[in-house]
Structure 1
């Protein structure tokens, strides 16, 4: 097959790839939003111990960590389309296991299902890198930010479907707290079909072909290898993700305490919890994805490191609010929104920095390592977050997370060498 090297043809294909990936992220956001919102609540309910609630988020991140490198290798050999669809299959199986575990009230089975959902998320994480495979250097941040932004629609809608999902689940006889997974199943199946049918030609395979033909002069230049900058990008994204995931994972449990205290243990407390948690996580997800095109544009204009540092500043503000306003629902909600904004800036700019610091033939491997570092660190952080929450409270958890923000800021000169 003849390689496509004309810049205008590559740009046309890149536009189509971004549109397909964006739609896939909408569907993936709907599917994953319910897992993020319900995981900690299901774990606490089935295990009977709030200190184990962090194991749900830890299991999601563990699944993503275990599959990030294998899926990256699969993408390098068979293309992004194969890796993304396999990830969707993992998630569908995982959802079925979670619902079964809730019905049987078996905690280890619940964690096994959540691990598979996390494995599916490892495939979904590749979408942001797939958006950069064919992107021109001056548009790399914007294309990446556009695909990340698309998750806003599904990511905000997913948590808001908790209450109607519960009502629908009761009608069909599903276990409590699992009704919203009905929407997840439909969304994951639709994303799987979309990638199989529409993600053609495969962006990574085409980028590799263009790189091999670069000697002909018609291909775009290959990015230079800057391993120190790539390592800093991995660390910055991982640290920001640990901060976000650890605090976010414990927020539903903390809000449950605040809601029950506000209702004095009244019968309406459970409904208040699902509404409060759903609204808070929806706003948090809006912060995570809603301004990602803006952060991508800023990363293209100001530079990647500058926007990573902007993200650290926003994360610090969020954590300070959560520390000193942990007993006020409104302040916690604002802190979670800012937490999402800071994560978005650091993740978009960090992913762009990692991509442009790495030649195309090394990208899948380094991207897989970066995702593994990000998700495995967050898994450990989520478990420790449950312990910190149980021992010292929500404010102390936010204060501990500030250490990672400080480290990311102090190490930033490494990326400029």
Structure 2
């Protein structure tokens, strides 16, 4: 899809007005997609445990839909680079909706292999939900990028909190339709992702990335090309890309590992889906709701400071999670709230670092590649979490995750000195 008259800068006289419209559309799509994202998080592990009769592979669903997220991040990034954010994001959400439908079929037929395949497809929704934050930053000025990213992220809170709390009613609806109870949240996910794709297709005009490129071409000369064919500003921004990616990769790894096994941990201590749904809802709220404050902090105090705060907050989450008795919903919830907040600090600061340092000429492609690394980190965390819990227990998983997050601090200090 090439830029049309509706997408050209000539058709807009005020970039700030266009940015506000784009953010409104992204907010609508994120509210919808947040519900689809949280539904799978809440019951994915429980559905696999129920079908397989084993806890050791309960982390596999999270690993699969985060691996699917990695594959989708490449596609969404490359489509966005070539044709704009609108088609890239819409294709990603439609793929996620297809995956949700496939999970429902697999659950109805009690086919674990089919379940695992469609969980991979379902992961496209996760990748798209994350990549939408970049669309919010395309037209933002450097001193407002943190806040622009945060507005897109915070919109996910509404759907993300509603999704887990609809586990019981959607499960009842599934049973009414003759489907397994745990397939219910995926009915919500499929509808939510499809509606998000429709909203973006109809209303994300002008395309923010295409418009940003055209405005940049009018205002700046072409970059100097080095011998290897890369623009010189691409090479200069590489260290920033490495740091931003490291911040988001480590926070994703720790967050997914602990979050994935929390419903299983609670189930093993006698808590039902309503209690685990509440804890996951609070976790998702902590992942996205603080975003406006985080964005302001990133713009006010700097990317490095908030990235360091991410590592410290995740350590606190790990310590609380390890110390919390399995029967204490309140302490488990506190650990998950801290986990979500640490992830939020890392995602907003890391996204701002990436956007600051990557030129428009390769922005979407690079962002897609970075999100592949994030998704693979999540897949690793999800896959290994079940094995760690089966071998050593949930407290060990939580503590190891918290300690691992401290690796951010020396990396940030080294980059700051440079």
Give TM-score, length-normalised by structure 2.
Answer: 0.92
Q: 1:377 aligns to what?
A: 377
Q: 1:266 aligns to what?
A: none
In the alignment, the residues of structure 1 paired with residue 316 and residue 247 of structure 2 have an alpha-carbon distance, to the nearest angstrom, of: 17
**Alpha-carbon offset, residue 382 of structure 1:** 1.1
In the alignment, the residues of structure 2 paired with residue 107 and residue 393 of structure 1 have an alpha-carbon distance, to the nearest angstrom, of: 25
Which stretch of structure 1 is more off in the superposition, 11-20 or 207-216?
Answer: 207-216
1:340 matches 2:351? no
Secondary structure class of the residue paired with 1:94: helix
In the alignment, the residues of structure 2 paired with residue 304 and residue 19 of structure 1 have an alpha-carbon distance, to the nearest angstrom, of: 25
* Distance 1:237-1:326 versus aligned 2 partners, 3 A rule: farther
Q: 2:413 aligns to what?
A: 413
Correspondence 1:254-265 to 2 at 5 A: 254-259=265-270
Q: 1:264 aligns to what?
A: none
Correspondence 1:109-188 to 2 at 5 A: 109-188=114-193
Secondary structure class of the residue paired with 1:49: coil
> In structure 1, which of residues 86, 90, 103 is the aligned counterpart of residue 91 of structure 2?
86
**CA displacement, residues 157-181 of structure 1 (integer Å, 9 cap, x when unaligned):** 0000001111111222122211122
**Alpha-carbon offset, residue 105 of structure 1:** 1.3
Secondary structure class of the residue paired with 1:91: helix
Displaced runs of 4 or more, over 6 A: 5-8
**Alpha-carbon offset, residue 389 of structure 1:** 0.3
In the alignment, the residues of structure 1 paired with residue 353 and residue 415 of structure 2 have an alpha-carbon distance, to the nearest angstrom, of: 9
In the alignment, the residues of structure 2 paired with residue 415 and residue 13 of structure 1 have an alpha-carbon distance, to the nearest angstrom, of: 35
**Alpha-carbon offset, residue 3 of structure 1:** 4.8
Unaligned runs of 5+ in 1: 217-221, 260-271
Correspondence 1:17-416 to 2 at 5 A: 17-215=22-220, 225-259=236-270, 272-327=271-326, 328-416=328-416
Paired residues, number: 401
Give TM-score, length-normalised by structure 1.
Answer: 0.92
**Alpha-carbon offset, residue 4 of structure 1:** 2.0
What's the Cα RMSD here?
Answer: 1.9
Secondary structure class of the residue paired with 1:411: helix
CA contact under 8 A between 1:137 and 1:356: conserved in structure 2?
Answer: yes
**CA displacement, residues 87-141 of structure 1 (integer Å, 9 cap, x when unaligned):** 1111111111101111111111111111111023222221100000000111110
In the alignment, the residues of structure 2 paired with residue 379 and residue 387 of structure 1 have an alpha-carbon distance, to the nearest angstrom, of: 13
